[in-house]
Chains A and B, each alone.
Chain A
Amino acid sequence: DIVMTQSPDSLAVSLGERATINCKTSQSVLSSSNNGNSLAWYQKKPGQPPKVLIYWASTRGSGVPDRFSGSGSGTDFTLTISSLQAEDVAVYYCQQYYRSRTFGQGTKVEIK
């Protein structure tokens, strides 16, 4: 299994400030067939199903605000919220889909 490790487990950021979440995979998720990284980011709010924010490591999902961005390649990835808004309070998960599917343990984002 590909193990996903997110850091930090939680973070508190002031409104309008930057939030950065890291995700490390136990092996590379870079596909040689399409040169894409099989890595997605999801946002989970209480009482709602998860929502995809980023896929192929850096492609924003439909309707996702451009303050959300994804970067990285191989085994190290980052989700950045450039200017935190109140509605961004949630738990964020990374997921690899290179081999089967596994999620990181989640990172809780709160307002400082």
Chain B
Amino acid sequence: QVQLVQSGAEVKKPGASVKVSCKASGYTFSVYYIHWVRQAPGQGLECLGWIRTANGDTDYTPKFQGRVTLTRDTSINTVYMELSRLTSDDTAMYYCVRENWFYDFWGQGTLVTVSS
């Protein structure tokens, strides 16, 4: 069965960076793009960007351009999301999702808390 398993919760100080992993299983990794979506407390769903797992091409939502970096390691079917220059506004649950036009499978989420 398709699974996306994310790394555990993180607590970071303002100005720091965070790197979250997402390990895929149960399907051919390189066939599907992986997107990242976040939800801040009490807020809606927001897309950060995507990575084409076949060749590493990326595209980022303008709001996060310059602060977010998506990479992948095809040897272990894992995608990474790194967000830099963190502020309290980045406190949120971060999800990796498999894109099949729409989002058909979601990771369990990784809570990132930014606090001094």
The chain A residues found within 8 Å of chain B, CB to CB, are: 38, 40, 42, 44, 49-52, 55-56, 61, 93, 95, 97, 100-106
Which residues of B64-116 have CB atoms within 8 Å of chain A's CB atoms? 95, 101-104, 106-109
Does the CB pair A42–B47 fall under 8 Å? no
Residue from B35, B101, B107 with most neighbouring chain A CB atoms (10 Å): B101
Does the CB pair A55–B109 fall under 8 Å? no
Across the A-B interface, the 10 shortest Cβ-Cβ residue pairs: A49-B106, A40-B102, A55-B102, A103-B45, A106-B44, A101-B47, A105-B44, A97-B101, A49-B109, A49-B95
Does the CB pair A101–B35 fall under 8 Å? yes
B46 contacts the other chain (CB 8 A)? yes
A69 to chain B, nearest CB (A): 16
B35 to chain A, nearest CB (A): 7
A9 to chain B, nearest CB (A): 11
CA separation between A105 and B44, bound complex, in Å? 6
Q: A50-B103, A55-B101, A101-B35 are in contact. Are A93 and B44 (CB under 8 A)?
A: yes
CA separation between A103 and B101, bound complex, in Å? 14
The chain B residues found within 8 Å of chain A, CB to CB, are: 35, 39, 44-47, 59, 61, 95, 101-104, 106-109
Residues of A within 8 A of B101 (CB): 38, 55-56, 97
With A49-B107, A52-B104 given, name 14 new contacts (CB 8 A): A40-B102, A44-B45, A49-B95, A49-B108, A50-B45, A55-B101, A56-B101, A93-B45, A95-B45, A95-B103, A97-B101, A101-B35, A101-B103, A103-B46
Nearest-neighbor residue (CB-CB) of B61 within chain A: A100
CA separation between A55 and B45, bound complex, in Å? 17
Residues of B within 8 A of A52 (CB): 102-104
CA separation between A44 and B103, bound complex, in Å? 13
Nearest-neighbor residue (CB-CB) of A31 within chain B: B101
B2 to chain A, nearest CB (A): 11
Indicate which residue in A40, A44, A55, A100 contacts B47 across the interface (CB closer than 8 Å).
Answer: A100
Residues of A within 8 A of B61 (CB): 100
Jot down 18 A-B pairs with beta carbons below 8 A, ordered by A: A38-B101, A42-B103, A44-B39, A44-B45, A49-B95, A50-B45, A51-B106, A52-B103, A52-B104, A55-B101, A93-B45, A95-B45, A95-B102, A97-B102, A101-B35, A104-B44, A105-B44, A106-B45
